[in-house]
Amino acid sequence: MPENYLITVVGPTAIGKTALGIQLARHFNTEIISADSRQFFKDMKIGTAVPEEEELATAPHHFIQHISVEEEYSVGDFERDAIAKLDELFQRKKVVIMVGGSGLYVKSILEGLDYFPEVDPQIRAGLNKESLENLQRKLANLDPDYYKNVDTENPHRLIRALEICIGTGKTYSSFLNRKKEARDFKNIQIGLTSEREKIYERINLRVDKMMEAGLFEEAKKLFPKRHLNALNTVGYKELFLNLEGKITKEEAIAEIKKNTRRFAKRQLTWFRKDNAIKWFENTAAPTDIIAYAEEKIKCSSQ
């Protein structure tokens, strides 16, 4: 049987992953799986930097704005659906592209997820009402090993770990690093990066463009649904604070930029742990990156 290849493009937000993914898809005449967990949800187009209509028309994309913000959609749901889509695509394509900055979602496709038992959903419901500080304190006490490695500013990660700790009486970390899933494709990982200050400049510019494109109006429409898990994300939660009268619009914009920069730093920390990623400057010629992917396929096929 001919071998299948998944070319994965990763890196921090605003670095240029979408454009590179499209160029790779056009070169290989294939389709794109999005592994950006913020772009799954409808009605969040501007704040999650969903590709423009002309970009989406250039190469077929999957898992972009395909579910309602009112739906729960976990990384496990994504793994199941994306693997099924890849199985379908590999019936007619030798190469498929995956693009995304959500490290855990990328990992779920390349390696599979660690197994966690089901726990009482009421545990999560209770944790959702707690402050970030309380969540951090509880996790530091219940699972100090995981607390040292988790993004302590991410309430989703804290709550996920805590519900397992509380629901099973065991640490979250005890369920991690199980045997990897065997996949029927070979993976080629490409990372885009740049100097930190340049990344931050790109982020600041993107936020300004989002505001010009109508991010505030988008957040205003979603404001009645601000309690939903999907909307507890950078770009919306800061503007919700403004709409609640707690901060000014200027302060909200500054917070969006600051929190997005922090998010980019966490993304780089995650991906740089993976030695399989071949890093390129975001200014690198796409032809050089395509040539690298072609060479990897050629060598792997021999």
**Annotated binding site for substrate: which residue ranges?**
13-18
Do the Cβ atoms of 190 and 293 come closer than 8 Å? Answer: yes
**What's the token pair of residue 110?**
């390349």
**What's the token pair of residue 179?**
């045997």
Between the CA of residue 302 and those of 8, 29, 248, what are the distances in Å?
Answer: 21, 22, 60
Burial class (CB in 10 A: 0-12, 13-18, 19+), 252: buried
How far is it, in rounded angstroms, from Cα 44 to Cα 225? Answer: 12
What is the DSSP-derived secondary structure letter of residue 33? E
How far is it, in rounded angstroms, from Cα 215 to Cα 233? Answer: 13
**Annotated binding site: which residue ranges?**
11-18
**Annotated binding site for ATP: which residue ranges?**
11-18
Between the CA of residue 269 and those of 91, 131, 191, 246, 264, what are the distances in Å?
Answer: 35, 25, 12, 32, 9
